[in-house]
Amino acid sequence: MPEMKNITVVGAGLMGHGIAQAFAQKGLPVTLYDLSEELLAKALASVEENLGTFVEMSLETPEGAAQALGRITTTTSLPSALKKADFVTEAAPENPELKQELFGQMDRHAPEHAILASNTSMLSISRFGSEVRDQGRLIITHWFNPPHIVPVVEVVMGQGTSEQTKEAALGLLSRIGKTPVLVNKEIPGFLVNRIQTAMFREVLSLLEMGVASAEDIDRAISGSFGLRLSVQGVLKTMDLAGLDLMLKGCSYLFGHIAGGTEAPEVLRQKVAKGELGANTGQGFFSYGQAASGAADAPPGKARDKALLTILKALREGKA
């Protein structure tokens, strides 16, 4: 398989522009595709702002940031975006019909050696990519928001994914400084979202029962095991506590924690009232309203700075 040199990202939205940035910062030329010049201009502005944060925190030089931005080429022509690609990442909305259409075009217009990857967080690539002629070149590379910062990328094997494709994807992600985590088979939610959703279920149950406020629940998580998990993970935490103690705790608590198979009423009520979170100004918390009546933008820059500070500290601690 040829070296993965030319990257194409299909979709320049919330995840796509950050994925493009991650490749560009590591020296790879990226072609970023979306439907309109307006969407692409917005994506480049977001990348430029993100790079500015790296410069502010002395994690990138102004020259390096300018070079990274210069490595991203935009286009509204999908065939043009695909014609020289070695690795294609689809980052479109979670709509199986849309993804199926895109993968059909990716199959027709990308070179035969190109790997066709999807950033889907929950859908089966074996289904929406079923019409791709060579199933061996299909793979899921699921990035996490913000993708230009979060190290882990889930690499999920489709039913027909070849070993060559798997190794090439793992190698490429490692080469740009990411931490690929291999998921050996497609299951709903893959790895991270299954674990995260189990926590969501319990948190929503506790909120619904009135056990604690939204503020205290979030404080409890971020200031206790949430802090610890970034250092040692879940299974190592169990090892360090002692598996005999874990057995006793699990045997007692498993019968008391949430086990429902339907979304909790507290979440359904929020959605029914149009309280969808930061974008509408109200969710489990209230967010400031701009003069126009629209919610202020979520504090993405502050979040990014906090995450970069944590990552820097973790890396220095391991040095």
Task: State the catalytic residues.
Answer: 121, 142, 154, 193
The H-or-E segment that residue 182 falls in is strand 179-183
Residue in 139, 141, 148 with CA at minimum distance from that of residue 181? 141
Sheet containing 152-157, strands listed edge to edge, beginning at the edge strand earlier in sequence: 72-75, 30-33, 7-10, 87-90, 115-118, 138-143, 152-157, 179-183
Distance, CA of 285 to CA of 282 (rounded, Å) = 6
Q: Which value, to the nearest 10 degrees, does the dihedral of the CA atoms of residues 313, 66, 19, 73 take?
A: -170
How many residues in total does the chain contain? 319
Phi-psi region of 220 (alpha: psi -120 to 50; beta: other; left: phi over 0): alpha
Distance, CA of 20 to CA of 213 (rounded, Å) = 39
Distance, CA of 144 to CA of 308 (rounded, Å) = 14
Q: Tokens for 154?
A: 């889930």
